[in-house]
Amino acid sequence: MFLLALDCSTSLGTVALAQGEDMENYRIIRRMEFAAGRGHGGTFFTALGQAMDEVRTAAEPLEAILVGLGPGSYSGVRQAIAASVGLATATGARLRGVPSAVGVRHPNRFYQTVGDARRGSYYYTAVRDGVCVAGPELLPDAASLQARLAERHDWPVRVMETALPGGLLADATLTRVEAGNLLAAPRETHWLPPLEPIYLRPVSITLPKTVP
């Protein structure tokens, strides 16, 4: 059987294809990286197509699809979820979601992730053994972020994708999400369909201007 994991929450998306006896006993046999988010749908679907070609060639079932739900790129997360829903419908695979932070590249069992949520705010998650023990949550300012980090001062910090503005946490390790790591999230923590992106603030919709 095959397991498929995908995440497009950052500018570098990943797809991982695993093969094994079940969701606890598997090995990753293919891993692909690609530019993700707005304007990069072609690279994502190329990687996805290559993974599915391997599934079809092996003539083994695709048992489950695990997708990162963010927070992160609005367009990237929505794209990944939509593709996962379509594949699950076509193949009969079980569809599950997890917060993208559990897929961060890291050498530790526990860590904190921080991302730039723009407008002077930040998104924060604390993860232990593949489980979000705090967050994902939106913190309104740097002082709130520092206070949250102080609660787990001995946990390593991973900054998502790009350095934070103003030199904040300049010594922290920059990281991205690795789709294959999503497969290690405990099954009892999986989010069930219907899956929705993790939005930490209301989605802003710009209406077209009225033409006189």
Number of domains in the chain: 2
- 65 and 93 part of one domain: yes
Distance in angstroms between the alpha carbons of the first and the last residue of the chain: 59
Q: Is 199 among the domain residues?
A: no
Cβ atoms of 6 and 48 within 8 Å: the answer is yes
How much is the mean pLDDT over the chain? 92
- 83 and 25 part of one domain: yes
Domain with residue 154: its CATH number is: 3.30.420
Cβ atoms of 123 and 144 within 8 Å: the answer is no
Q: Is the pLDDT of residue 94 over 70?
A: yes
Stated pTM of the model: 0.90
- 36 and 140 part of one domain: no
Domain that holds residue 161: 107-175
Distance (Å, rounded) from C-alpha 101 to C-alpha 126? 8
Segments of 129-195 assigned E as strands = 131-139, 157-160, 173-175
Which whole number is the average pLDDT over 172-198?
A: 94
Q: Is the pLDDT of residue 206 over 90?
A: no
Please list the alpha-helical segments (H only) found in 59-131. 74-91
- 122 and 90 part of one domain: no
Question: What per-residue confidence (pLDDT) applies to 115?
Answer: 94
Question: What per-residue confidence (pLDDT) applies to 41?
Answer: 64
User: What DSSP string runs through 106-125?
Assistant: -SSSEEEEEEE-STT-EEEE
- pLDDT per position as a tens digit, 2-38: 999 999 999 899 999 999 988 889 999 999 999 886 6
Domain with residue 43: its CATH number is: 3.30.420.40
